[in-house]
Amino acid sequence: MSTPPQDDATETIDVHGMRIALRRYGPAGAAPVLCLHGWLDNANSFAPLSPLLPEVELIALDLPGHGRSAHRPDVSAYHQLDWVVDVVEAADRLGLDRFALMGHSMGAGIAAMTAGTIPERITALALLEGAGPRPTADDEVRRFLASYLEVRQSARANKQRNRGASFATAVRARLAFGEPLSRASAELLCEGAVMPADRGVRFTNDRRLQRVQPMSLSQPQILAFLSAISCPTLLLTAEQGLAFNPEVMAERAAAVADLRRAHVPGGHHVHMDDPSVVAPPVRELLGLPTR
């Protein structure tokens, strides 16, 4: 594919004065599943899985700073807890009183903390390749903030324009960045993350997302969120996915009261590259009939 498609089915809602984009997959009015993508991905992340879950409506957000959503103001940073607030308010704007949550990677961590914050509203929780942010030790907080300020000042002094390139070049850049994924998945993510620019297209993601962030959470703080989750929860990991710290993951799994686990073949983006292995455990979690 040399150029992105021209039709754009993205909707937008206003969340505390900020534009949040979303895509819907599946029948309108069906049981809602609010979907949260991974770091530097976007709502298109859930398109491959949607045909295998035709009984529900997947409502996939572009988190602030990603895809078609607005960037945070220059004075703000990107904190996981702020994304939790964004998700809850987005659910309110969409009229979702009770709903299922599904997240991938970073989105899985945000989904888990959201489910621990408003447990009475979440009917089921699917965590794909993630169960919370990397824990921060007490003695790392000061260093993280100092590094953030240093990087922020350097970025101000060396502003670079996000130059246009061909869509094919954008796809190659996405394939070279981060965890391996298929070309088809890279194209799909790029379709949701580029816009026209001089001499081609440019990525819409906020460049600040690639910087160190000023604050994270400790493992006990993360466990407090997980221990408050009251809905059936699926923790799905991939054989060639992220290399999680086994002790950290064991503590987090033990903190969730009603947890089932699935380990499937594939890489970090298995829900895109091979959704057929992800759909069965997700269907079971949601109480859907076996296909």
Q: Which residues form the catalytic set? A: 105
CA distances from residue 269 to 127, 185, 239, 254, 259 in whole angstroms, order as listed: 13, 8, 11, 25, 22
Chain centre to alpha carbon of residue 138 = 26
Query: Hey, what amino acid is at 152?
Result: R
Distance CA 283, CA 274 (A): 15
Counting runs of H as helices and runs of E as strands, what totals does the chain give?
A: 9, 10
Per DSSP (E only), the strands in 129-232 are 194-197, 200-203
Q: Which two tokens stand for residue 38?
A: 């991974």
CA distances from residue 210 to 38, 72, 207, 222 in whole angstroms, order as listed: 13, 14, 6, 23
Per DSSP (E only), the strands in the chain are 11-15, 18-25, 31-36, 56-61, 99-104, 122-128, 194-197, 200-203, 233-240, 259-267
Exposed e or buried b for every residue in 31-64, given b needs 16+ CB within 10 A? bbbbbbbbbbbbbbbbbbbbeebeebbbbbbbbb
